[in-house]
């Protein structure tokens, strides 16, 4: 189902697409390719909203910084000093987080209106990022396909091609609260990650892959999340062709459980400690499947370079259940 959700100041219409299957109901916006709503049942069959979002377009325009539910790119997460080398050329980006680039710049993919077309089980959103957009090289044709499978799992499949060498890192920035409201710090989390990437004061990776053993970053066995996280975890599986399980988030009170599978090598755990009105710090937990932050400046990290003739492909699957 497709309906008008709002209109931007320049007259551009924003549409809302509703997907519903097997007890899961998902709403996706053409603005920012945002996941506006996910409604799933608890162990008693009671349905609730499990992602943070707004009833109208004005809410997203007034609160762009937290990236509620958005598709972020061309490069998700941070690039140090808003610059990176590629094939002997240093590209300068638009800094939007102190001296650094965050989530693609001040007008990244999250602030663009995407074209939409129906596909079996969902909707395909697409756009063309011109060469030089926010400083990134190459004309990028990119799509994100949102579908619900027969079990009600949400799959996001990304694809992109370029006409010049560039870098790309895409993710969805939904904040999950499986209780439906309140502080999410009591959720239990398991991450299939034996290492993480320590960061400096600007949240830029130092380049070290540190062992989680004996630290507060060890989520290999499920435990309460708490707060104080905005870190990339190095998944043991690495980059894979097909999505493999990476994380499980569970709310003991409602029984709702989210299992995340991905082809990506990392997950950014963000406990939303800086959210502000109309939400409160810790009201949601983001699990951003991704390549590592600042990879273009760390040759030892998995590569995020995309070249002409190649196709970027990435998939993440969100499976909802209750126990």
Question: Active-site residue numbers?
Answer: 173, 288
Tell me whether residue 230 is annotated as binding. yes
Residue 75, beta-bridge partner list: 169
Tell me whether residue 173 is annotated as binding. yes
Cβ–Cβ < 8 Å for 246, 192? yes
Tell me whether residue 174 is annotated as binding. yes
Tell me whether residue 291 is annotated as binding. no
Tell me whether residue 127 is annotated as binding. no
Tell me whether residue 273 is annotated as binding. no
Annotated binding site: 77-78, 173-175, 230
């Amino acid at each position: 189902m497709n309906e008008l959700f709002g209109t931007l100041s320049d007259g551009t219409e924003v549409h809302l697409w509703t997907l519903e299957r097997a007890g899961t109901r998902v709403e996706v916006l053409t603005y920012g390719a945002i996941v506006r709503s996910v409604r799933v049942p608890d162990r008693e069959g009671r349905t609730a909203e499990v992602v943070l979002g707004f009833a109208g377009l004005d809410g997203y325009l007034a609160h762009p910084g937290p990236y509620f539910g958005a598709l972020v790119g061309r490069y998700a997460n941070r690039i140090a000093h808003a610059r990176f080398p590629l094939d002997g050329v240093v590209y300068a980006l638009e800094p939007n987080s102190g001296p650094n680039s965050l989530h693609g710049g001040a007008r990244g993919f999250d602030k663009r209106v995407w074209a939409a077309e129906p596909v079996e089980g969902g909707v395909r959103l697409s756009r063309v990022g011109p060469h030089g957009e926010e400083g990134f090289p190459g004309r990028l044709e990119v799509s994100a396909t949102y579908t619900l499978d027969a079990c009600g799992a949400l799959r996001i499949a990304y694809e992109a091609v370029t006409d010049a060498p560039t870098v790309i890192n895409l993710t969805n920035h939904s904040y999950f609260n499986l209780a439906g409201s309140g502080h999410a710090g009591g959720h239990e989390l398991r991450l299939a990650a034996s290492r993480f990437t320590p960061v400096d004061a600007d949240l830029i990776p130092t380049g070290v892959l540190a062992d989680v053993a004996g630290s507060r970053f060890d989520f290999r066995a499920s435990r309460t999340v708490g707060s104080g996280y905005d870190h990339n975890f190095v998944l043991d599986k690495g980059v894979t062709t097909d999505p493999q399980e990476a994380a499980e988030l569970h709310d003991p009170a409602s029984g709702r459980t989210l299992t995340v599978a991905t082809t990506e090598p990392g997950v950014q755990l963000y406990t939303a400690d800086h959210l502000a009105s109309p939400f409160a710090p810790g009201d949601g937990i983001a699990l951003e499947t991704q390549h590592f932050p600042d990879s273009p400046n760390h040759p030892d990290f998995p590569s995020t370079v995309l070249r002409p003739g190649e196709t970027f492909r990435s998939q993440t699957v969100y499976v909802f259940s209750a126990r």
